[in-house]
Amino acid sequence: MSIEKIVEQALQDGYLTPAMEAEVGRICDTASELSIEEYMSLDRLMGALLTGEVVAVPRKQFINVMEELVLTEAIARVAEIEATSDRTLDLGDIAAYALNRLPPLYATTEEGATYQRQRAKEELLGLIAQQVGEAIARNLDRPEFFPERQALGKNSGDEILTQVSTLLQAYAPNFEPQSGAPI
């Protein structure tokens, strides 16, 4: 889908979904140069986001408490290994491996998250430590397959205005609409 179609869809629906945001980012990242129409569409989107005509849908309205528990365990273990050896481990790969082998603990409120944390501490800490350990062992034994791999971006719905502004500045630093041109 083109930037123009994504912006038109967002203006029609009143929402910019995470998938739409990702597609605009992908197009901007892979294009060697954007057309004037694409710049104008991005400008329209920025204006619509600023006025509230379009609302950026948050990526998550819930959390998986297991993610924070696994990351806490993995960070501690990885830091220990990296401090005592010359190895560099991929924290994202380790966390993903462990999370794929653990039950999710979703919550939509702070109270729910507190409950899930307590439940995990009582019932799952050993399993979390075991899965993180297995993930680290696999990561240490893994050959360097694809050094050109690109990690997933870390975007949140709140960052969309900054991202669009940064994209506009990067791809159109000297662009000024002609007087009387539609914006």
pLDDT digits (tens, 9 = 90+) for 136-153: 999 988 766 655 555 555
Residue 122: per-residue pLDDT: 94
Size of the chain, expressed as the number of residues it contains: 183
User: By C-alpha distance, which of 75, 92, 67 is closest to 153?
Assistant: 92
Phi, psi (rounded to 5 degrees) for 62: -155, 165
C-alpha angle 135-139-144 in degrees, rounded to nearest 5: 155
Instruction: Kindly provide the b/e burial profile for residues 55-70, where b requires at least 16 CB atoms within 10 angstroms of the residue's own CB.
Output: ebbeeeeebbbbbebb
Give me the residue label for tokens 């995990």: 120
Residue 5: per-residue pLDDT: 94
| C-alpha of 119 from chain center | 27
Indicate the domain borders of the chain: 3-59+156-171, 63-141
pLDDT digits (tens, 9 = 90+) for 11-54: 998 888 888 888 898 888 888 888 999 999 999 999 999 998 99
